[in-house]
Amino acid sequence: MLLKRIIPCLLIKDGGLVKTEKFENPKYVGDPINAVKIFNEKEADEIIIIDIKATIEKKINFDLLSKIFSECFVPICYGGGISTIEDAKKIIKLGAEKICIQSHGIKNKKFVVDLVNNFGSQSIVLSIDLKKNIFGKLKLWNYLENDFYNVDNIYDFIEEMISYGFGELLINDVDNDGLLKGSNKDLIKRISSKINIPTIFCGGINSIDDIKKSFESGAKSVAAGSFFVFYGKFKAVLITYPTEKIKSLLNE
């Protein structure tokens, strides 16, 4: 049986670890290298690292990634600013097990095919940001342009993207990002029933029970940032991660 995964999702900007709410107002919370060290010691199932500025500036901080990856012995997935095969090769060579693609892959399908041909589907993750519009309809969000993509049916779009060879899907629930109000179980149920590749759901996780209910709703993997980084109502920075005993109970 494939074990359900619990994945810390770390955002970096200008070399620092940051947290956002609804993808806005990045707040510095610490050193990403120290955070990765702690999650490594706690034997996280995997770590996702997203540089939220790399795509905007079209520049990947390879020096920082080298330092981060050297401190980690659990699988790492990196996303942010990857626009060439050379970028991907360098990131994989530094130690990432997977690379996460969003904007450049959405605009350039041939790039996705080239990535898959070079590294295999298992190493290429499609990141999708979903957000409700003013009418409450779930739409595909373009964070670079702070607007929605012109996509009528998000499920058909995701299926089309998957057909180019992506091996895994990361769903970011923008409306729940950083709010610690619980994951969107209806969204998890809908996506899980329609998509047949491994999918990670990220956004809103606020407790171990919430992780459990997300799994019960169909998630095979969940990712969280604030829940693993903040503690208490004043959001003091304290990195935590479920113990092996808790993870075993969640997999029952």
Is there a contact between 101 and 126 (Cβ–Cβ < 8 Å)? yes
**152 among known catalytic residues:** no
Helix (H, G, I), strand (E, B) or coil at 89: helix
Set 31, 87, 114, 129: catalytic member: 129
Report how far residue 148's alpha carbon sits from residue 104's, in angstroms, rounded to the nearest whole number: 16
**Nearest one of 74, 9, 35 to 237, comparing CA atoms:** 35
Q: How do strand 236-237 and strand 168-173 relate by DSSP bridges?
A: unpaired
Q: How do strand 221-224 and strand 199-202 relate by DSSP bridges?
A: parallel
**Close Cβ partners of 184 (under 8 Å, ≥ 6 residues apart):** 173, 175, 176, 203, 204
How is 40-87 classified by DSSP, letter by letter?
HHTT-S-EEEEETTHHHHT---HHHHHHHHHT--S-EEEESS--SHHH
Active site residues: 129
